[in-house]
């Protein structure tokens, strides 16, 4: 089995090229290319590649499906980290990024005209250790969301 494509390129290009006709971007991953179909309920977009390399427009890392930043349950001293990476800035250059924490607090940052990364780090807690009736043994940081504004 071949390894999945990965990237260290500042332009978001993934390698090796899987030479596929379509790719599905979901859960905080936005793929550059012609959008063929979208499913808002699944937060997913089908993009036509026609064999070209996959190139990310943007992605988020460190955020679980329920919005929580996840740390290392084996080492609660390590902070939880989440990030938004913006590789494609061709849609109007700079703008603003709004970072929401726990739904009630937000920070607004001006974004540059070049590819950028915004990272959040926060101390963790384990719900099961705080509340014995909880079955959640994950090391959680905060609920976080990233929103690009014009």
Per-residue pLDDT, 77: 84
Q: Both tokens of residue 127?
A: 């719900």
In a domain, 5, yes or no: no
Tell me the pLDDT of the chain averaged across its residues. Answer: 88
Indicate if the pLDDT at residue 66 is higher than 70. Answer: yes
Q: Is the pLDDT of residue 136 over 90?
A: yes
Q: Report yes or no on 44 lying in a domain.
A: yes
- Tell me the whole-structure pTM to 2 decimals: 0.80
Is the domain of 136 the same as that of 116?
yes
Q: Is residue 14's pLDDT more than 60?
A: yes
Same domain assignment for residues 98 and 124 = yes
Encode pLDDT of 52-61 as tens digits: 999 999 999 9
Whether 46 and 76 share a structural domain: no
Supply the DSSP symbol for 2.
P
Asked if residue 106 is part of any domain, the answer here is: yes
> Where residue 11 falls among pLDDT bands split at 50, 70, 90?
confident
Residue 4 is assigned to a structural domain of this protein? no
Per-residue model confidence (pLDDT) at position 8 = 58
User: Three-class SS string for the chain?
Assistant: CCCCCECCCCCCECECCCCCCEEEEECCEEECCEEEEEEHHHCEEEEECCCCCCEEEEEEECECCCCEEECCCCCCCCCEEEEEEECCCCCCCCCEEEEEECCCEEEEEECCCCCEEEEEEECCECHHHHCCCCCCCCCEEEEEEEEEEC
Distance from C-alpha of 36 to C-alpha of 119, rounded to nearest angstrom: 31
pLDDT at 23: 95
Q: What is the pLDDT of residue 3?
A: 55
pLDDT band at 22 (very low <50, low <70, confident <90, very high): very high
Q: Is 75 contained in some domain? A: yes
Q: Which domain covers residue 55, as residue numbers?
A: 22-59
């Amino acid at each position: 089995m071949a390894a999945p494509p990965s990237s260290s390129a500042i332009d978001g290009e993934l390698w090796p090229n899987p030479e596929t006709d379509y790719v599905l971007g979901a859960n905080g991953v936005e793929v550059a290319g012609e959008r063929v179909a979208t499913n808002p309920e699944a937060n997913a977009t089908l993009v036509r590649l026609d064999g070209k390399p996959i190139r990310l427009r943007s992605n988020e890392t460190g955020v679980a499906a329920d919005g929580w930043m996840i740390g290392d349950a084996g080492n609660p001293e390590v902070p939880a980290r989440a990030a938004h990476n913006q590789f494609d800035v061709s849609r109007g250059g700079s703008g603003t990024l709004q970072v929401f924490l726990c739904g009630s607090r937000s920070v607004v940052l001006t974004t540059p005209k070049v590819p950028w990364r915004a990272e959040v780090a926060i101390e963790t807690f384990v719900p099961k250790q705080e509340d014995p009736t909880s079955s959640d043994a994950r090391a959680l940081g905060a609920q976080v969301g990233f929103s690009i504004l014009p």
